[in-house]
Structure 1
Amino acid sequence: MHEIPKSHPNGYSAQVGWNKPTGWTRRAQGLAAFALLFVLMLLFFSTAGSSSSGSSTLPNLFSSNPSCPNERWEDGKWVQRPPPHETMAGKSDVFRVSGFTGCATYDWTPNRGGCTVAPFDKKEFILRLMRRGGWMFIGDETTEQQFFSLSCLLHPHVRASPTFPSWGGWKASWPQFLYLNLADPWAKSLVESHMPIGFRPELTPLVSYLRVDLLFSKPELADVGAWTSHPTADPTTFFSGDGGEVFTQSALDWLGAYDAKYPAGKYNTLVLSSGGHWVPSLFKGLPGGSPEVLRLWRVAMHLLTARLVAMLNDEKNKTRVVLFRSAVQGHESCKEEWSRKAEPLTRPRELKKDEFNWKALPEMNAILEEIIKGHNHPRLKFLRLDRPAHLRPEAHVYSDCARYVVGSGIVEDWNIYMSHYERWEVDYPK
């Protein structure tokens, strides 16, 4: 168990919005370096980013505002993309014959009509981040993949920081950031024409990520454990070391970072996800196993969402949005699926074994969704984005059946849909 430090050697501070180092390269957990290079190039030349050469505002392609409610988006299937062009026009074409034939070859497509997702325009999105406020991602390694995927979708207009140390001293607890890349001509032009007062491109992140696996610190969850009929809960004995490596931080700290002010940051959209690390073996102080963990989860999520609603109801936060992404199960025997180059499924498979806490995740999602719906707040939403992942057992990182390859389309479609949702589906005050 790791408590995330308030600061670390590169000078970040969670209390003031975590500033500031430079660089483009960074760690992407579970992916080999050559795969990262491939993904970056693939996404740069993919259709998702092709709009970067056009207008800096969203094209007016619709007679009315595009709309795709979450329940309609989730009810979909993976559709294979047309085969790539055969002409060797540049260096990126080498990846066509590199063996990654299953990477980014499918698009998620809703089954029913009446579901139009706005095209992802990276320039429009960056302008939105500057004008309305940045995005902050809080969660586990899967959330980190979402952050990394977004860095690829926004390339070359952003740079990621911190730089991955050549000496191998990376710490997963370090915050990560996307800044305007002033070496890019278009991004540099924004500084002259669209920069808000107080925004400093070298200091103000557009997007941030902090790894907080449980969304709470150990003492906070021990207190919650005491409230759930375990009055003797003690932070020193409530947790065990059997639940794998876990990174924690107080919710007060990351909410404080979300509330940063220029130039340290100005955030509008908070993206949260948790569940995968809430395993019974981690909570030694809960002898009842999975049912007790679910009970702890319910109380903790009630407390967290109540605090978020109070924050959103503050007059100064009237445009802010909090989006919870559903937790995602892994797949059994994903290596066999990967090796035989399997295609996407048409319906999710039922798990035979209860590895980690995968069987509990649907109930955890349902509990959180119920709590959020109970608040009935127009800017606090639970998004079910897990079904596309459940249909892709062949899209895992080869060594890890819990996380997915960035570039396979799964994580990219999360970002594309959430960008659409934040702009077109949220009911902002008039």
Structure 2
Amino acid sequence: MVTLGFKTDSTPYRPLFATPRSLSTKFFALFAVTSVVYFTHSFVPSEYKPDLSSFRFSSPRVRGTCPPRSYAAGEWVAKPPPTNRTDFNSSSDVYDYLGFQGCASTREVYWHLAADKPALWDRFPRVASWQWQTPSDCEVRELDPAAIVKDLVEQGGWLLIGGKHPSPCRSLLPSIVPLPVGCIPYSVTENHFFSLSCLLFPHVRATPDYIENPYFDRGWPQNLYLEPSSPLVKSIRFPPGFDIETTPLVTFRRVDLLFEQPQLDALYHSLHPDSPYVSANESIFSDEAAWNLSPEEYVKIFTSPLPQGNYATMVVSTGGHWTTTLFSGLKDTSMFKDGIENVLGFFSEAMEAWAREVQALLDDAEEVEWANRRFSIGRSRGRKMAPRQVVARAYLPGHEDCHDHRDPWTSYKPGRWGWYNWNQIGDFNDAFEAVLDSRKYPDIHFLPIDRPALLRPDAHSAGDCLHIMSGAGVLEGWTQYIWHYVTVELPGRVR
């Protein structure tokens, strides 16, 4: 027997086609909103109209034209050299041999261009005679410096956050001995910044001026600004509040671990209160130097309003400093590579905490901006640019005996000796990618685009086998793909 249940609450009966009580109210509310919008866009001056185009509406998820792994599946192919010259007689000749008009940054210019050691000048112009060819089904935007500059203004700039691997030179010297020429404790992320200063030249200028004052601390911010005399200025649509003199297009900040060390100490002890390696009041770190900021500090920079900031993309990279030398409290000489797996395990935990904190900070900043937008009618329009996104670029190991090579590889070969944690860098990248492969962090994306660099043992600076020279195509490829990713792959996705 089937019992038909009927609702017997006190709601009065309405005929099927009766007009709902709230219809008239809803109608007049809709009419009022429509009237306000019509009036505003018809009669209010354009500079005071609300920025309706900046509101987010869900759009269908679209398939990217070249996802990161597809991009990385390409190969290096030969291209015509930038010059037919054969008379490389001085370091200043390097611009012709790399195809650069110049470089905006003045930070150890010839070191970054690998032109500081005459014994290795035989690499030119061959080192700049290769280009990364993506698979046939992978379409990437053509590298266009002028278009990149325009997007950095109109769509938002880049904040580069990253550190360095411990210098191969330092391991051979007491800490009190200055590093010799060629052994410069740079960051691979700083290499990327310098490359941008060359690629975008002469449309950008750089600070600080290291010729005038070469003693800036390595943690000092470096910036690229739009050059006021650039012919691009006339064609750029400047966001309200943008200041050519003070609003950066690109900023580099030295951050080795993505956290400050006391934060990592606290995190480790909270997760491992009974650790067999360190007691509750001990640090997991040695006294090896490292440069760091907290996520709160650099996300505050990232989300700062115009004219101080106009950033839309934060590019982070870490992994090289996560060694048993710096993390000496996790060292275990009875284990493989002195317990590098202990460091790797904590790295995974730390990156989970990092992603959670950064996503929360981005969400908080977005809520503040949305609150401000609600009251934009009658005032000048605010920020109108791409939504802020964070991309984590896969970290790189070095190549042992790199200066013996003059051509790219077709497949990667791990080092024979396994210097530092170089042969484990792939594991660190995998751990970071596993953390970010989650819908919990919709604004943070991992880019496994390290393979082009892994296949270029010939593209290192003249001073060591970790840092990458500008002009060989590796760093410029990062710029091209990250630009493509944030302007083509990400738009159209839904959270």
TM-score by shorter chain over 0.5: yes
Name which of structure 1's ranges 128-137 and 408-417 shifts more when overlaid on structure 2: 128-137
Residue of structure 2 equivalent to 1:74: 72
Matches within 5 A, 1:260-299: 260-288=304-332, 289-299=339-349
Q: How does 1:227-266 map to 2 (within 5 A)?
A: 227-230=270-273, 237-242=283-288, 245-266=289-310
State the Cα deviation string for residues 207-236 of structure 1 (Å, max 9, x = none): 111000111101111112213315666787
Q: Decide whether aligned partners of structure 1 residues 390 and 96 sit closer, same or farther in structure 2, where only a CA change above 3 A counts.
A: closer
What SS does the aligned partner of 1:422 have? helix
Between structure 1 and structure 2, the one with the greater Rg is 2
Relative distance call for 1:234 and 1:124 in structure 2 (3 A) is: farther
Q: Which residue of 1 aligns with 2:480?
A: 416
Residue aligning to 1:211: 254
1:87 and 1:229 map into 2 onto residues whose CA distance is 61
Counterpart of 1:324 in structure 2: which amino acid?
A: A
1:87-106 equivalences in 2 (<5 Å): 95-96=96-97, 99=122, 100-106=124-130
The residue type paired with residue 283 of structure 1 is: F
**CA, structure 1 residues 181+83, in 2 after alignment: closer, same or farther (shift >3 Å)?**
closer
Instruction: Kindly indicate whether the alpha-carbon contact (under 8 Å) linking 1:379 and 1:428 is maintained by their aligned counterparts in 2.
Output: no
> Any idea what the Cα deviations from partners look like across 1:77-126, whole Å, max 9, x if unmatched?
110112456489xx97984597422232100112x321111112222222
Residue 301 of structure 1: which of 341, 351, 354 is its match? 351
Please give the TM-score of this superposition, normalised by the length of structure 2.
Answer: 0.67
Amino acid at match of 1:104: A
User: What is the Cα-based RMSD across aligned positions, in Å?
Assistant: 2.7
Of the three residues 279, 302, 321, the one matched with 2:389 is 321
Offset from partner CA, 1:363-392 (integer Å, 9 cap, x none): 110011111112365532111111111111
2:102 alignment partner in structure 1: none
**Contact 1:228–1:296 under 8 Å retained in 2:** no
Q: Deviations over 1:267-316 (max 9, x none)?
A: 11010000011111111222343111112111110011112333444454
Give unmatched runs, 5+ long, in structure 1. 1-63
- TM-score, length basis structure 1: 0.76
* Structure 1 residue aligned with 2:151: 128
- Seen in structure 2, the aligned counterparts of structure 1 residues 84 and 298 have a Cα distance that, compared at 3 Å, is closer
Counterparts in 2 of 1:85 and 1:215: CA distance versus 1, 3 Å: closer
Distance 2:85 2:413 in 1: 39
Q: How many residues are treated as equivalent by the alignment?
A: 355
List aligned pairs for 1:110-149, cutoff 5 A. 110=134, 112-140=135-163, 141-149=187-195
CA distance in 2, matches of 1:354, 1:74: 24
Contact 1:322 1:380 in 2 (8 A): yes
Report if the CA contact (8 A) 1:66-1:424 is conserved: yes
The unaligned stretches of length 5 or more in structure 2 are: 1-61, 87-91, 99-120, 164-186, 333-338, 371-385
Equivalent-residue separation in structure 1 for 2:131 and 2:65 (angstroms): 18
1:152 to 194, 198, 201: 198
Partners in 2 of 1:357 and 1:168 — Cα distance? 31
Structure 2 counterpart of 1:239, one-letter code: F
Is the aligned partner of 1:387 residue 2:451?
Answer: yes
8 Å Cα contact 1:378/1:426 also seen in 2: no
